[in-house]
Amino acid sequence: MVNTINRVPLHTDWRSNRRIEVATGQRIQRCASNPHEIDRRLRDLDREWDIERVLEANASALAFAGIAMASGGNRRWLLLPGLVTAFLFPHAVQGWCPPISLLRRMGIRTAREIEIERVALKLLRGDFDDTHAGGASFLADRALRAAKA
């Protein structure tokens, strides 16, 4: 079933998905070998833009540029925001649009792919080691905080 969690990878070439997965694994492995790097990598992940954010920022910049250029007198520039919105609609419905293929080849990840790396690094750092101490209520609280992190 296609949903918002898996729609971009399902509409991405398997080679691009695999490159992203391998690169993520290599970064986690590097941090496992150099635990002092984990905090820096987590900070990097906090600043990483996911594919939705990249797509939205680029689409709005292109649409704005088209409108700005059209206001200079050449109405043909209005084709640019029209094209951008035509690309965004299939992405909203299916999770695919032409720029997605290029962005994935560039290694731009989904929010879920970024979060998987974040959780793996936190596991390496030992953030979840004491989750079984303190009873069910404590465990539930820790699980909820870990999920939100």
Q: 58-106 pLDDT, tens per residue? A: 999 999 999 999 999 899 999 999 999 998 998 888 888 889 999 999 9
Residue 104 lies in a domain: no
Instruction: For 54-79, give one letter per residue: b (16+ CB within 10 A) or e.
Output: bbeeebeebbeebeebbeeeeeebee
pLDDT, average across residues 123-128: 86
Residue 138 lies in a domain: yes
Position 128 pLDDT exceeds 60: yes
DSSP one-letter code for 3: -
Residue with tokens 């002092």: 36
Rounded to a whole number of angstroms, the distance between the first and last alpha carbons of the chain is 27
Range of the domain at 22: 1-48+109-149
Total number of domains in the chain: 2
Token pair, residue 13, equals 């070439």
Query: Are residues 33 and 13 part of one domain?
Result: yes
CB 93 within 8 A of CB 103: no
Query: Are residues 41 and 2 part of one domain?
Result: yes
Residue 25 lies in a domain: yes
Q: What pLDDT, in 10s, does the model give residues 25-68?
A: 999 999 999 999 999 999 999 999 999 999 999 999 999 999 99
Query: Are residues 2 and 43 part of one domain?
Result: yes
